[in-house]
Structure 1
Amino acid sequence: MRPVDRLTLGYLAVVAVLVATSPARVDGALGLLLGFGACGALVVASAALARRLPENRLVVYVRVGIFPALTLFLYPAVERYALVLRGRFMDDDINTWESWAFGGPPNVLLDSVASPPLTEAMMACYFSFYLFALLPPLWLVARARPRDAERYLYSQMLAVYLCYLGFLLVPLRGPASALSGEFSTPHLSGYGMTTLQTLIMTQDPVGACFPSAHVATAWAGLLAMRRIISPTAFYTFLPLVCGITVAVVYNRYHYLSDALAGLAVAFVATAVGRRFEPCPPPPTLHRSSPHGHLRSVP
């Protein structure tokens, strides 16, 4: 099993224990436990399939795509057990701190510069995250670099799971709800992208704010891109990731504290990821000269 397999199974074990030991405070605990078990079974099955068919390109794509796919269940599931540790939402604490640190809630301060064109640009930046999280590992597989795709995925999924656990430590409703009475414009207006992103966010789980998983995953991916793909790729996508970081606050999806915490998670995930991510395969050695010297083949 790969490091990202063990990482995912470890996360599933942790949240399963939290849910199982606090059934009275979790809505639909049995369904969650079954879901966690199904996710674990998929990870194990994909590992077994890869062992049986290691050279099959479709299997390689499945192995890469299964982890972002699991978040389609794991991310919304957080809403059902977000209060398992704290028992309450902590938006008042965050707003008190941010008002002291910044002279007012940054979300409300950004509201003063809101405009439909700016909102559309921020929504587009936010939406780009979905492609940013999936396309690089698929591109690496297409370039016959599955080990590098695994390295990229490990850093990203470590950032994701750290954020999911952070949601339980600091459960928040988010600024759109907690600060709704303080915005001069009750709803951000834009154009097509704004409408699409607003529709997507109707399914966003309550409590999934701190740290910002969007910021953490985007920066973890960008830092992985720098060492795995090229510095040029890093600098090419840097403005986009900076845009995502600003967008999560401007769009009222996260507090500034969430974004800063997400950035910290990305650097932690990168540092840990470099220690535990899959190593590149060693060079192949074979005899290729009449003198018996060994030549390295990458």
Structure 2
Amino acid sequence: MAELLSNSFPATPTGTRFWAVDKILLTYLAFTTILILGWWSRVEDAGMLFAAHVVGVALVVFEVKRPNRTTWIFRNWYALPFVASCYKEMALLIPAVRQTDADQWLADLDFRLWSVHPTVWLERVQTPALTEFLQIVYTLFVPAVLLIPLLIWRKRRPEEFQYYAFLIALGYLASYVGYLIVPARGPRFLLRNLQHVPLQGMWLFQIMQSTLDRLESAHYDCFPSGHTELTIIAWWASRAISKRLFRVYFTYTPLIIFATVYLRYHYTVDVMAGILLAAILIWSAPALYRKLSREA
């Protein structure tokens, strides 16, 4: 990564106007700051979160209005760690703001659609080899999403990179708002007493699952399925890099969608919502990007 960034584009002036990605990230920060202030007594580490927001806003404004040697790299890349920190923050905000969950409602919707609970029904095709393989597929989600901007960056196509960074950030933040509106932990928790057979892998399954659990913490991150949404967006964007990569993502995308349900992370209605959200963003993001990129 260090070598990749050191081989960045020439020191091009970025100007002192806010980019589209800056505007959506700062808007999201304002929204979550209101949540922190409104539910201050309930939000764990509210003071620390508020201070982090102040520092984050100050840093973005400084880099935009006072261009320096770090500005080009910062402004192109900061959205990616930003959305990761917002994910962790939402794990603290949802329990404080909502104090309830929608798991039973989502499970009931699934049952009405299929007349079975999909995660329970899928036990009939469950094998250690398949479980191991699908857990690997699921664990590769973040690398699969980040590979696209890395390849675009290497090709020295800053306009495409900036649009994809905007689209990724928009996709992640939209899913976080969905988590807040429809908080749910997933069938792995709600339906565990209905499952007859535990998931068993071969070699790395337990390590991968427990590592993801530690990284994600106790989270209400089911609806919509961000794995589905962001992977579809990455698949769509991969066509601008090469036909071969597009075919790779064409194979990977349905696998991870299936993995989200097979591994009991998601209800099928989460997946449907993720597909719909991805389609809406792919269709609407270009116009939104152009509008937000205009000079004030």
TM-score band by shorter chain is 0.7 to 0.9
CA shift at 1:89, angstroms? 0.9
Partner of 2:9: none
Partner of 1:296: none
Note if contact 1:163-1:211 (Cα within 8 Å) is conserved in structure 2. yes
* Residues 1:143 and 2:158 are matched in the alignment: no
* TM-score, normalised via structure 1 length: 0.83
Q: Secondary structure at the match of 2:258?
A: helix
Note if contact 1:108-1:182 (Cα within 8 Å) is conserved in structure 2. yes
- Seq. identity, %: 26
Partner of 1:185: 197
Q: Residues of 2 paired with 1:176 and 1:18: CA distance?
A: 28
Note if contact 1:188-1:251 (Cα within 8 Å) is conserved in structure 2. no
Structure 1 gaps, min length 5? 280-298
Partner of 1:253: 265
Partner of 2:134: 122
Q: Secondary structure at the match of 2:78?
A: helix
Note if contact 2:110-2:269 (Cα within 8 Å) is conserved in structure 1. yes
The counterpart of 2:101, out of the listed 85, 89, 95, is 89
CA shift at 1:61, angstroms? 4.2
Structure 2 gaps, min length 5? 1-17, 292-296
Per-residue Cα deviation, 1:220-254 (whole angstroms, up to 9, x for no partner) = 2222333x435553333111111111111111112
* Residues 1:33 and 2:50 are matched in the alignment: yes
Partner of 1:7: 24
Partner of 2:176: 164
Q: Secondary structure at the match of 2:265?
A: coil
CA shift at 1:160, angstroms? 0.5
Partner of 2:238: 225
Alpha-carbon spacing, 1:62–1:242, altered in 2? closer, same or farther (3 Å): farther
CA shift at 1:82, angstroms? 0.9
Note if contact 2:171-2:278 (Cα within 8 Å) is conserved in structure 1. yes
Aligned residues: 273
Q: Which amino acid aligns with 1:41?
A: A
Q: Residues of 2 paired with 1:118 and 1:59: CA distance?
A: 45
Per-residue Cα deviation, 1:91-149 (whole angstroms, up to 9, x for no partner) = 11111121111112211122221111101111121122111221211221121111111
Partner of 2:78: 66
Note if contact 1:120-1:194 (Cα within 8 Å) is conserved in structure 2. no
Q: Residues of 1 paired with 2:96 and 2:276: CA distance?
A: 24
The counterpart of 1:200, out of the listed 212, 223, 229, is 212
Q: Residues of 2 paired with 1:46 and 1:114: CA distance?
A: 51
Q: Residues of 2 paired with 1:172 and 1:117: CA distance?
A: 29
Note if contact 2:182-2:223 (Cα within 8 Å) is conserved in structure 1. yes
* TM-score, normalised via structure 2 length: 0.84
Q: Which amino acid aligns with 1:155?
A: L
CA shift at 1:195, angstroms? 2.1
